[in-house]
């Protein structure tokens, strides 16, 4: 029987869409998720899109007994590790929660893998590990630094993975540093569903467009950028999913590997660019006001994508209009489902 790819956090935003790509590429998928930030209904959507239903275990990556049982019952070829908490502001308020979930949770998972002799690991890292850019575009050898517990938890796991790789033969590890994932599945059936007030720009913009929120606050218009608003490298989540497949294939073809790879498009867009693009997709006006800068925000950030292209043969293909079209389709679907 084809062995499984274990996808932790696989009912979440990026994990569920990577599961779609894995299933479409012919992999068997086992999802482990504690549903702290997702709904099991996403399994139905995955099945509707792919015609296949991934195996699902509701549980926590910090549960060592559950992990031991899972690895003994399933033949697992590789682990894609998405499970974690991701809100920067919340991590400042509750640092221990973040270190427990993101760092301790990852260590538990790696211990279970070690015991089961599974040594292929794809980790959801973040461009946040670069801190305030000293130069652009960001290459993978840019110095690493973090300013908040969330970012620090990602950097700590990257360092743990380096130590582990050096300590034992046979590990094949890819730390994928995502830039700003946005968009949704083109069907509109799966997308980002933040609980409460969205922290990130694009879910907020989508909720203003659909009428759930009155207006967006644009955090700062006095940055040293073309229009004064923050510039980011937004990447379509389906391109990101394909990047995971490329990293998995690369790892499986090599005996031993430790990679850190940027997953971005290489192009930066401002907050106002993204608002205009979303207005075109939704044919709605996005009301906004200029607000003070958000503490901790950087002016600009975009990726150097040449390493991903050379090493993994992967590049992102979708532009911002496609990202906004797909996010809008998902937002309309989510609003219709919510309103019965
Ligand atoms: P998400 O919250 O939608 O998905 C994470 C999933 O993990 C959720 O389904 C949640 O229920 C689950 N989970 C959390 N803690 C768990 C635990 N202890 N045990 C089992 N399951 C647990 O987030 P996402 O946007 O899909 O992000 C996935 C990963 O990518 C995260 O590690 C995140 O830090 C990283 N990342 C995200 C972004 C982004 O902007 N979305 C950017 C860079 C990196
Ligand atoms: C984008 C731009 C804001 C909201 C965060 C994390 C990072 C990574 C991705 C996980 C900025 C502006 C935002 C709003 C606004 N996550 N903005 N009004 O800050 O680049 O990155 O998510 O790893 O670690 O820090 O993304 O979407 O929050 O902000 O004006 O209501 O939009 O100031 O310029 P960010 P974002």
The domains located in the chain, with CATH, are 3-182+235-264 (3.40.50.720), 201-231+267-300+318-338 (3.90.25.10)
Q: Which atom of ligand 2 is nearest to the CA of 218?
A: 30
Task: Estimate the crossing angle of helix 41-50 against helix 13-24, to 10 degrees.
Answer: 30
| Catalytic residue from among 150, 165, 204, 234 | 150
User: If DSSP codes are grouped into helix, strand and coil, which group holds residue 80?
Assistant: strand
Question: Ligand 2 centre and the CA of 119: distance in Å?
Answer: 33
Give the closest residue to 262 by CA, choosing from 298, 309, 297, 300.
309
Alpha-carbon gap, residue 312 to 25, rounded angstroms? 16
163 in Cβ contact with 183 (< 8 Å): no
Q: Is the CB of 124 under 6 A from ligand 2?
A: no
Question: Ligand 1 centre and the CA of 86: distance in Å?
Answer: 6
Question: Ligand 2 centre and the CA of 200: distance in Å?
Answer: 5
Whether 150 is catalytic is yes
- DSSP string spanning 166-229? HHSTT-EEEEEEE-EEE---TTSSS----SSS-SSHHHHHHHHHTTSSS-EEEE-S-SSSTTSS
pLDDT of residue 78: 98
Q: Is the CB of 207 under 6 A from ligand 2?
A: no
Nearest CA to ligand 2 atom 5: 200
Angle subtended at Cα 172 by Cα 171 and Cα 174, rounded to the nearest 5 degrees: 130
Give the closest residue to 113 by CA, choosing from 158, 157, 72, 156.
72
Q: Is the CB of 203 under 6 A from ligand 2?
A: no
Alpha-carbon gap, residue 312 to 293, rounded angstroms? 37
pLDDT of residue 339: 75
pLDDT of residue 246: 98
pLDDT of residue 125: 98
Instruction: Find the residues whose C-beta lies inside 6 A of ligand 1.
Output: 8-9, 11-15, 33-38, 60-62, 82-86, 101, 105, 124, 126, 178, 181
Alpha-carbon gap, residue 33 to 42, rounded angstroms? 12
Alpha-carbon gap, residue 139 to 250, rounded angstroms? 20
Residue 242: enclosing H or E segment and its boundaries? helix 237-253
Pairing of strands 4-8, 231-232: unpaired
- DSSP string spanning 158-174? HHHHHHHHHHSTT-EEE
Question: Ligand 2 centre and the CA of 201: distance in Å?
Answer: 6
Alpha-carbon gap, residue 107 to 101, rounded angstroms? 10
Ranges of residues in the chain with a pLDDT under 50 are none
Alpha-carbon gap, residue 166 to 227, rounded angstroms? 46
Q: Which two three-digit tokens encode residue 137?
A: 């575009």
Alpha-carbon gap, residue 27 to 4, rounded angstroms? 7
Only one residue has tokens 């980002």, namely 192
């Amino acid at each position: 029987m084809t062995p499984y790819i274990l996808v932790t956090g696989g009912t979440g935003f990026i994990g569920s869409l990577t599961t779609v790509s894995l299933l479409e590429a012919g992999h068997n998928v086992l999802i482990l998720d504690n549903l702290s930030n997702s709904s099991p209904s996403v399994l139905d959507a995955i099945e509707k899109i792919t015609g296949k239903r991934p195996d699902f275990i509701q549980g926590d990556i910090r549960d060592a007994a559950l992990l031991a049982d899972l690895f003994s019952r399933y033949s697992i070829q590789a682990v894609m590790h998405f499970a974690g908490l991701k809100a920067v502001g919340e991590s400042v308020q509750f640092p221990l929660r973040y270190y427990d979930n993101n760092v301790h949770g990852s260590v538990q998972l790696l211990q279970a893998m070690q015991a089961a002799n599974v040594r292929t690991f794809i980790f959801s890292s973040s461009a946040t590990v670069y801190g305030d850019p000293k130069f652009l575009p960001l290459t993978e050898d840019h110095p690493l630094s973090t300013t908040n517990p969330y970012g620090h938890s990602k950097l700590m796991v990257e360092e743990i993975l380096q130590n582990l790789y050096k300590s034992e033969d046979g590990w094949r590890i890819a730390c994928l540093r995502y830039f700003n994932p946005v968009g949704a599945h083109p069907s509109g059936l799966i997308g980002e569903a933040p609980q409460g007030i969205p922290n990130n720009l694009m879910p907020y913009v989508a909720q203003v467009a659909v009428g759930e929120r009155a207006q967006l606050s644009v955090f700062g218009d006095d940055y040293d950028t073309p229009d004064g608003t923050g510039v980011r490298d937004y990447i379509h989540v389906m391109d990101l999913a394909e990047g995971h497949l490329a990293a998995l294939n690369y790892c499986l073809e090599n005996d031993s590997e430790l990679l850190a790879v940027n997953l971005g498009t290489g192009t930066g867009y401002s907050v106002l660019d993204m608002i205009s693009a979303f207005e075109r997709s939704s044919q709605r006006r996005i009301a906004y006001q200029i607000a003070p800068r958000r503490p901790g925000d950087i002016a600009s950030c975009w990726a150097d994508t040449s390493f991903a292209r050379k090493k993994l043969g992967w590049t992102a293909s979708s532009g911002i209009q496609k990202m906004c079209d797909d996010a809008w389709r998902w937002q309309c679907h989510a609003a219709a489902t919510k309103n019965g």
